[in-house]
Structure 1
Amino acid sequence: MQPTTSQAPRRQLYTAEQRARRDATRWTLVQAILAPLQFAVFAVSLGLVLWYLATGEGYTAATVSILLKTLLLYTIMVTGAIWEKVVFGKYLFAPAFFWEDVFSMAVISLHTAYLWALFTGQPHETQMFIALAAYATYIINAGQFLWKLRMARLDMKAAQ
């Protein structure tokens, strides 16, 4: 006799009502535009930061790119909080996105620490290493976002 293993069904990311609100709000489109834009800026900026750290050249370009990445991050976080309020009724820490929001706070904190380092005149290398730490947390957070996107797609497939 073989043991039976039953997996509990995975909890759906969205209820039917939440999915309807997600699909109806313009903030979903805003997030869909900002997320890949932010990633593209991140990729270029990462290259510029690494170039500066390797060669000592291109500090201004690296700095401008980090500032642009930070501006996009703040924008996507504000619009994402609005999206979360529309879909889940809470600006942040809705159960379906709790850990993504927690990690987003670390991402924002490190980007803000970079701004502090820049505006208080910390050494250029210190600024760049803080930016790299911010980018490392951003990569993890982006991975969380992609995982949730995959879960939403699996939920849609299961519902059909």
Structure 2
Amino acid sequence: MNVSFLKKINYFRIFKWLIGIIIVLILIIMGLFLWARQPLSSAKHQATTLAEKKVGIKSVDHFYMSDLNRTYYTIEGPNKDNQKQYVIIEKKTGSINVVNVKDGISANEAKSVANQKQRIAKLISVAPTIFNEKPAWAVSYFNSKNELNYAVIDFKSGKVLRFIANV
């Protein structure tokens, strides 16, 4: 009887250790996830503050990030006259470009243009950006062959400015 009692105690002790290790691993993974997202959260906060102070954006409807040759953060939201705008901020210099949403094609239209160029199997992102000093849409996606592709679409005309296949 003594031996079976000791076996139960050892199993219980092992079970407690395993549960403890699993909890610690879950906490470490959660911490790493939050730590990895911190730069993006910080960028969103800084871009939002700039858009509110310099341009007068009242609220943020969407936040975008694009990275072609330069990194751009874009805030979408209404200004004080309730007109929707994209405030496109270059990460390195902090230069600000303001574009009225109604003056160009929508994200869905940009996606459609990219899809006509090459069938989109999985969309990664569609984001307003600046390309050759003009507003554009950067569309990144995987095609049916699981190849990464980029299409840069002119914001006003909807024409493909650059297409990069199988990156």
* TM-score, normalising length: structure 1: 0.25
Structure having the larger proportion of residues in strand: 2
- Greater helix share, 1 or 2? 1
Larger CA Rg, structure 1 vs 2: 2
**Structure with the larger RCO, 1 or 2 (CA within 8 Å, 6+ apart):** 1
